[in-house]
Each structure stands twice: as C-alpha cells, then as structure tokens.
Amino acid sequence: MNIWQTLPHGFTVLAPMEGVTDIVFRSVIEKAGAPDLFFTEFTNVSSFASEKGRHDALERLELKAEKSTPGTSKSDRAQKATPVIAQIWGKNPAHFAEISSALETMGFAGLDINMGCPDRHVNKAGGGAAMIKTPELAIECIKAAKSATNLPVSVKTRLGFTYIDEYKTWLPLLLEQNLAALTVHLRTRKEMSKVSAHYELIPEIIKLRDKISPETKLIINGDIKDLRSARELSEKYPGIDGFMIGRGVFGNPFCFNPDYLDKTPTPEELRELLIFHLNLFDKRAEELEKRGSRYPYEPLKHFFKIYINNFPGASELRAKLMECKNTTEVRAVLAENPQKATR
Ligand SMILES: Cc1cc2nc3c(=O)[nH]c(=O)nc-3n(C[C@H](O)[C@H](O)[C@H](O)COP(=O)(O)O)c2cc1C
C-alpha cells in the first residue's frame, strides 16, 4: 500500500512552493495545524545529477532532522511526522531515473513530477509546464522515474499550456501512465494565476480519471483558501480525492487546522508562530553554517506579512521588521512593540 492509498477521502495537501515550503516552513505549518501531506519545493533533476549541483539539491531535500530519535530507523521517523512528497523537475529521463532511485532511501513518501510551473527559466529549460508541449518526452520522464524507484510517482500539472481545451488530450495521456496521483492546477500556463481557477471543469476531469485510471488519486488545486473551502468542494465534488492549498497559507497559516474552521487566529497566536519560525530559522542557519553552507536571512522577510497583519498598527510594525538585518533585531523590535501585536 502506498501513501496515497492511506489518506482519508478529501485529504489536504500543502502545495509545493519554491522559496516557501522548505524544511523550516513545513515545520511552522505542522505546528499551526498540519495538512495530510506536504510537498517539498521542486528540485531540478539535472542539478542533482551534476557534481556542482548535488550539494544544494540534497540540502533542499532534507527532511525534518529534529524529529529523529537515536535507535529508530529513518522510515519509522518519517512515518511519525506528516509524510512528505519530494517534487522534482527537469527534462532528462536519465537524470529523472538517477534522482528517483536516490529518493527511495531518503525518507520520502513519494515523488512528484512538476509539469505545471510557468516560470520562464524553467520552461526555457524544457521543464515544468513546457512538458505539456513535449508529451512524448514527458512520458519518457515519467517512465524513467517509475522504473528507477519503488516510491509512488505522481504528477502536478495545469490544464494546458495555452488553451484550456488542451486538458482533453493532455490529462488522458498522463492518466494512461498509471500514476499514483495526479494534481491538476485548474488553469493554463498562459493564465498564470491571473484568472479564477476553472472549477467548472471538475466534473469532466473526474470523468476522465474514472474512465482511464480509477486507481489514480485526483487532487485539485487553485484558489482553495482553507480547510472549510476544501470541505465544501469535497461535498460538491465527491469524486475528488484531495485538495491542495498554496497561497491560502499566506492569508492564514492555520488554514489546515480543524480548530480554526470557524475562527481566524488572533494576533497573539500569529505572533507566537512568528517567534517559532524565527527559532527554527536560527537553528537551521546554525546547522548549515556548521556544514560550511548558508541559510540566508533576506528571504525570511517575505514571511513577516503572514504573521503581522489585521490589527491596528500592523503595517507600522511590519515596516520596522522589514528594516531588521537579522533575527536578533527582529526579536528586539517585537519586544519593544508588545502592545502593537496584542491589541
Ligand atoms: C511562491 C510560489 C512558489 C511556487 N513554487 C512551486 C513549485 O515549486 N512547484 C509547483 O508545482 N508549484 C509551485 N507553485 C504553484 C503552487 O503549488 C500552486 O499550484 C499555485 O499557487 C495555485 O494554488 P493556490 O491558488 O492554492 O495558491 C508555486 C506558487 C507560489 C505562489
């Protein structure tokens, strides 16, 4: 039995997000209220296959180190925490095989191939959504990954590259590959995230899955805000197995937590979560520094708006935090402004 088969009907997934869903942020969401499944940020298969890129790729693919207990095997440890799917991208079948084989021993519950990323550089390199335009190569990559690992292989994609109707040929092709799961971001590459997700196509997509590959778990993605929205969609479309939430966590990091179905987190709760994030950040930075690597501070600033908003004085406090040059300064600003965060 693979991980996808053990998830409850209507399961939730934190979407893979480059620069966001790394080992630290996944732990933050685990603390706030975990989904049923995590995805990593995507890792390039050819970087992993190269001597130069291997180190960075491995760093991106680290699982929670802090949960490890001496004496337990890696697979035991991975089972206790929320399972994590490693997402990969690229266009070289041999490199897909190489990383897929390596991932098997790294504690992941499965691997997912990104065939939906709209980033220009990724597409220029033939990966992400560009795969929709090279279906034969896409299939070759899926086959290469599947043949090299016992992990369940899934794909995350979009409706099409340019036109919505492309889903009518593209999704069947993917479903014919006997995937463990298929996530459909309900937009085309051309639409980026600028239009509403095409929920109206859900019934058609369910029909395709039921006809071609009923065993494949079907996950939808796009504009799902929180657990409440996921449950509403699940009631409306019982043929969907799971719901993936991306940007919803920026609006509410407690969005997977059933205790928050009818309430939003208080400024105090968000502030506490920020401090938890800062602590994990410091721990990770220290860990990487010991290994001669870096966990840069600047990207941490993008997260402040998640935690400091929706109370009087929030934007002033956030502006002060944005000027901080390290976590010590952030803590000092927070300590100087306790009332601002609790009003
Ligand atoms: C900052 C950011 C980074 C992303 N990185 C990835 C990625 O690495 N892999 C991927 O498949 N999708 C990536 N995505 C797309 C999301 O997984 C998701 O498909 C998209 O945000 C739509 O879902 P949402 O409306 O719930 O946010 C990214 C999205 C954002 C906003």
The CB density around residue 175, as the number of other CB atoms within 10 Å, is: 22
Collapsing DSSP to helix, strand or coil, 268 comes out as helix
Q: Tell me which residue has tokens 């602590």.
A: 279
Residue 338's pLDDT band (cuts 50, 70, 90)? confident
Ligand 1, atom 6: closest residue by C-alpha: 17
Measured CA distances, 132 to 35, 240, 266 (Å): 29, 22, 43
116 C-alpha to ligand 1 centroid (Å) = 9
Say what the pLDDT of residue 342 is: 47
Q: Tell me which residue has tokens 């209507």.
A: 10
Mean of the per-residue pLDDT values for the chain?
94
Mean pLDDT of the 24-43 span: 98
Length in residues, the chain: 343
Say what the pLDDT of residue 339 is: 56
Q: Looking at ligand 1, which atom is closest to the CA of residue 114?
A: 11
Q: Is the pLDDT of residue 341 over 70?
A: no
Say what the pLDDT of residue 69 is: 42
Q: Looking at ligand 1, which atom is closest to the CA of residue 224?
A: 26
Residue 67's pLDDT band (cuts 50, 70, 90)? very low
Mean pLDDT of the 326-341 span: 87
What digits encode the pLDDT tens for the residues 241-250?
A: 999 999 999 9
Report the Cα–Cα distance between both ends of the chain, in Å, rounded. Answer: 50
Q: Looking at ligand 1, which atom is closest to the CA of residue 247?
A: 27
Bin 37: left if φ > 0, else alpha if -120 < ψ < 50, else beta: beta
Mean pLDDT of the 168-197 span: 97
Mean pLDDT of the 71-79 span: 43
Inter-residue contact 157 to 182 (CB < 8 Å)? yes
15 C-alpha to ligand 1 centroid (Å) = 6
Mean pLDDT of the 331-337 span: 95
18 C-alpha to ligand 1 centroid (Å) = 7
Residues with CB under 6 A from ligand 1: 15-20, 41-42, 87, 114, 116-117, 156, 185, 193, 221-224, 245-248
Mean pLDDT of the 85-96 span: 98
22 C-alpha to ligand 1 centroid (Å) = 13
Ligand 1, atom 19: closest residue by C-alpha: 185
115 C-alpha to ligand 1 centroid (Å) = 12
Orientation of helix 135-148 relative to helix 167-175, angle to 10°:
20
Say what the pLDDT of residue 80 is: 64
What digits encode the pLDDT tens for the residues 209-234?
A: 999 999 999 999 999 999 999 999 99
Residue 68's pLDDT band (cuts 50, 70, 90)? very low
Residue type, 19: G
Say what the pLDDT of residue 47 is: 97
Query: pTM of the predicted model, to two decimals?
Result: 0.94
- 117 assigned to active site: yes
Say what the pLDDT of residue 134 is: 98
Q: Which of 117, 141, 255, 324 is catalytic?
A: 117
Token pair for residue 278? 């800062």
| CA–CA dist 142, 312 (Å, integer) | 51
Mean pLDDT of the 194-207 span: 97
Collapsing DSSP to helix, strand or coil, 289 comes out as helix
Q: How many C-alpha atoms does 312 have within 13 Å on its Cβ side?
A: 2
| CA–CA dist 342, 336 (Å, integer) | 12
Q: Report percent pLDDT > 70 for the chain.
A: 94
Say what the pLDDT of residue 74 is: 42
Residue 264's pLDDT band (cuts 50, 70, 90)? very high
Q: Looking at ligand 1, which atom is closest to the CA of residue 222?
A: 25
Mean pLDDT of the 146-171 span: 98
Residue 81's pLDDT band (cuts 50, 70, 90)? confident
| CA–CA dist 38, 281 (Å, integer) | 19
